[in-house]
Structure 1
């Protein structure tokens, strides 16, 4: 018997407006049955406390199945910011070991030390964009290349290959944009590229994360296998640029869509930090959400969910929950505290969130300092969305200054 279920992800009225279903489901049906693009059924959670409960529960696997792992779990921030793409190989105790090994390279202290380099990259990209004249596409000129440059620098990968990364990334994060055989071919190409890169770094190590992890993988204690090393490099390249690149464009669009927000930041640059956090919370187009496979029964919002159920936690819907945030439908650049779920929660929260925050704050500061007169070239309602991918974003963001 065919069950008539709403299709998920839900459509947006415009690129900067949330789906109407979020508020409706939070109010009336916080545990909702939906149909995925694959035709499978799942449950979607939209309330803040429910999403935090499930994401924080270490009993539940992040994988739907082995085939889905590479594509469905990249959106750790809404993403976000994607450490689960890098974590898809180790599970259980292996996952905690993996986080201890890799997490030390993504501390707030290390990211703060990288900030001057990130700022220099941002300045150079804006120089090139301004030299090209207005209008310009902020996504392709600034939002996309900045995090690619940063993650390539961190991993010791040539950023001249960023067009390839975009191609592989889009395929690995596809919901409906590509056929399965195209996705498989792209994954194979990407795996071969990473394998060759690791072999090259093993022969000639550099001052980068992959060279350091090769030492761990080649040690006799077996803390990191070759496949975990490949999965880590592959996942960090995808997750380390895709979600942040999308967020730079969306954050800028949110701030320019209401000129008072941009002027507020020009008048009070100290608000940049809280403005970035609020943009992460307020994001209306974050993508898929985080899937969890229930291995035992759990009760959520008074509903008992049986083992074998796939649950998708919509962090973006939860971030608009009026029970968790005062005036949740307003973008308040002064909001603090701001316990949003853009980076997830619990044992699989985004391992790269310190890097993402550093990139976003730096990208915004440089824009404010260099282009105070920045404005949209067109109306916010006409901004084109990226379609058919797990991670939501803007196809273009045309601006003038």
Structure 2
């Protein structure tokens, strides 16, 4: 009788910030462990070094159209990334990376800093004006992320609520009725972007979509569906993850007061603190999927041609062979780079923008509200563990003078 493989994804956590115990148990077995996905067996990559090796190997394909490609969905649906540049290999993938590289260059992203700072301050002004308590996700996390991606792509900010509502559906594929909801939301967003591209053709602005229309669509270097899918992908990837990092990162700091104090009182720690939060949270929790086009040897294990892998940044970022005391949040930590943006040719194209956005968001928040604290007990903060993006979307916070204790 064949041995039953452990089912994956594993989502049940006893502590919100620690990986599931079942996942850590697999990490103790080997750098690569065979697991059962909804689509069949695959290798779960549990170690940092094996993850980097495989993500950098051109024999590991991102092409979801290949037979046997692993997916993490429990319900049958058309994956939203299929056909996008994120699911291309080789020269096709390199073409789109080159197309987008200038938009996410250090120089262009740095030029956005004043606008991001202004947006953060305006949101904090409104929070302070209204007074505590506030739900930080709704009052700060979402609108900071929305305003930044709107500025980048040239999407009118007054439409932010529309696309925020539809984007939320994409990151919860295990919820009942998800295939229908996701298909409906993708269709609505695609129609919106189609109309936006038409407007940019007539009235271009100083934004990414206008430049892509002028430099790639009009000369015929890409066709309209390709441009729409790329714009859709950037909108989705650049919004939900960053908003969630702002909210969940703040929650982590507030639940570790000494770490909050370090970042607040020692501004030079801010950049490293953002990297540590990205490592510690690993909010894209289920993993990165690939399929082998040839046999690939990793240590003592061979991934055979046609076999799929799931690289777990969550486990790689908690590898005790790489990070001392990996389950501890330490904003003073220095060491090897984390895997939260991936690695290799498919390293997140927007990582430069995400990093500066998070640095500014945390810096302005801690500067303007140095006495920020949770408005409810830690045990009452809800965390999402079943969604593609881990974290909390409900963070009640307060600030100002603490109420006096009522005598017993």
Q: Normalised by the size of structure 2, how large is the TM-score?
A: 0.88
Q: Decide whether aligned partners of structure 1 residues 72 and 362 sit closer, same or farther in structure 2, where only a CA change above 3 A counts.
A: farther
Is the counterpart of residue 263 in structure 1 residue 261 in structure 2? yes
Residue 24 of structure 1: CA displacement? 2.1
**Match of residue 227, structure 1, among 215, 219, 225:** 225
Unpaired runs of 5+ residues, structure 1, are: 74-81
Residue 67 of structure 1: CA displacement? 12
Equivalence for 1:77: none
How many Å separate the matches in 1 of 2:41 and 2:239? 30
Equivalence for 2:404: none
Q: Decide whether aligned partners of structure 1 residues 374 and 92 sit closer, same or farther in structure 2, where only a CA change above 3 A counts.
A: same
Partner SS, residue 200 of structure 1: helix
Equivalence for 1:76: none
**Cα distance per residue 1:164-210 (max 9 Å; x no partner):** 22232223233212432222222222211111111111111111110
Equivalent residue pairs, number: 390
Equivalence for 2:52: 52
Equivalence for 1:215: 214
How many Å separate the matches in 2 of 1:203 and 1:120? 29
Note the 1:178-189 alignment, pairs <5 A.
178-189=177-188
**Match of residue 161, structure 2, among 160, 163, 185:** 163
Is the counterpart of residue 117 in structure 1 residue 110 in structure 2? no
How many Å separate the matches in 2 of 1:106 and 1:209? 10
Note the 1:85-124 alignment, pairs <5 A.
87-88=85-86, 90-124=88-122
How many Å separate the matches in 1 of 2:224 and 2:117? 34
* C-alpha contact 2:247 2:393 (8 A) present in aligned 1: no
**Cα distance per residue 1:19-75 (max 9 Å; x no partner):** 223432222133223334x45433211100011111111222224348999x979xx
Q: Decide whether aligned partners of structure 1 residues 72 and 225 sit closer, same or farther in structure 2, where only a CA change above 3 A counts.
A: farther
Q: Decide whether aligned partners of structure 1 residues 85 and 377 sit closer, same or farther in structure 2, where only a CA change above 3 A counts.
A: farther
Superposed CA RMSD:
2.6
* C-alpha contact 1:18 1:285 (8 A) present in aligned 2: no
Q: Decide whether aligned partners of structure 1 residues 2 and 186 sit closer, same or farther in structure 2, where only a CA change above 3 A counts.
A: farther
Q: Decide whether aligned partners of structure 1 residues 338 and 383 sit closer, same or farther in structure 2, where only a CA change above 3 A counts.
A: farther
* C-alpha contact 1:217 1:223 (8 A) present in aligned 2: yes
Q: Normalised by the size of structure 1, how large is the TM-score?
A: 0.90
Is the counterpart of residue 294 in structure 1 residue 295 in structure 2? no
Residue 360 of structure 1: CA displacement? 0.5
Equivalence for 2:15: 14
How many Å separate the matches in 2 of 1:175 and 1:196? 27
* C-alpha contact 1:256 1:262 (8 A) present in aligned 2: yes
